[in-house]
Chains A and B, each alone.
Chain A
Amino acid sequence: DSGVTQTPKHLITATGQRVTLRCSPRSGDLSVYWYQQSLDQGLQFLIQYYNGEERAKGNILERFSAQQFPDLHSELNLSSLELGDSALYFCASRTGDGGNTEAFFGQGTRLTVV
């Protein structure tokens, strides 16, 4: 158990819909990272938050947005969903902002857009 909790584990929704994925980081970790992993692909970095503030952005689509709340949990919002958005979405947490500390991953949310 990594200590990072992601909900829901599975999500099936229709094209055009909007979903929210939730992540609770490990106790004490201030950084949350979001990644998208398509079939047989590596992890595509979407966005990082540190202590409530956006810190770094990757190739995140404009239809996607995220935030980190005062209790440090984070949500990733995906809207106007397309078939190509079907993927595993992971969040990871780290103690600090950058550096070489270990990233702890949740078990992911498998999103299927039909």
Chain B
Amino acid sequence: TQLLEQSPQFLSIQEGENLTVYCNSSSVFSSLQWYRQEPGEGPVLLVTVVTGGEVKKLKRLTFQFGDARKDSSLHITAAQPGDTGLYLCAGAPRNTGKLIFGQGTTLQVKP
């Protein structure tokens, strides 16, 4: 059972388009994180959302944490080829030390 479900799993779009990636769970998380991974590298943290309903912006990326703290979304405006990569959400289920990841969304932005 995947505790964190990401959708879509694959996304191929043209430069300039907008997109949204979703991360859903039936469990409550004290916080959720989004990481980006490039081929041959380890994931790198983009953002951590902590408060239910929180919205954080990182240039053209907007992250939202659901009010019930069970889901999060990543919205990219005017995608660029440099946004290509694997986007992963991650969180620690309450009262555990685990840091678990969703299965990831592979994004390809074509020029």
In the complex, number of A-B residue pairs with CB atoms less than 8 Å apart: 71
B107 CB–A CB distance under 8 Å: no
With a cutoff of 8 Å between Cβ atoms, the chain B residues found around residue A102 in the complex are 33, 45, 48
B106 CB–A CB distance under 8 Å: yes
Cβ of B96 to closest chain A Cβ, rounded Å:
6
Number of A interface residues, CB 8 Å? 29
B104→A41 contact, CB < 8 A: yes
Residues of B in contact with A (beta carbons under 8 Å apart): 6, 30-31, 33, 35, 40-45, 48, 50, 88, 90, 92, 96-104, 106
Residues of A in contact with B (beta carbons under 8 Å apart): 2, 4, 31, 33, 35, 40-45, 48, 50, 55-56, 58, 90, 92, 94, 97-100, 102-103, 105-108
15 pairs, CB–CB < 8 Å, chain A vs chain B: A2-B44, A42-B88, A42-B104, A43-B90, A44-B101, A50-B97, A58-B100, A90-B42, A97-B97, A100-B31, A100-B50, A102-B33, A102-B48, A103-B45, A107-B41
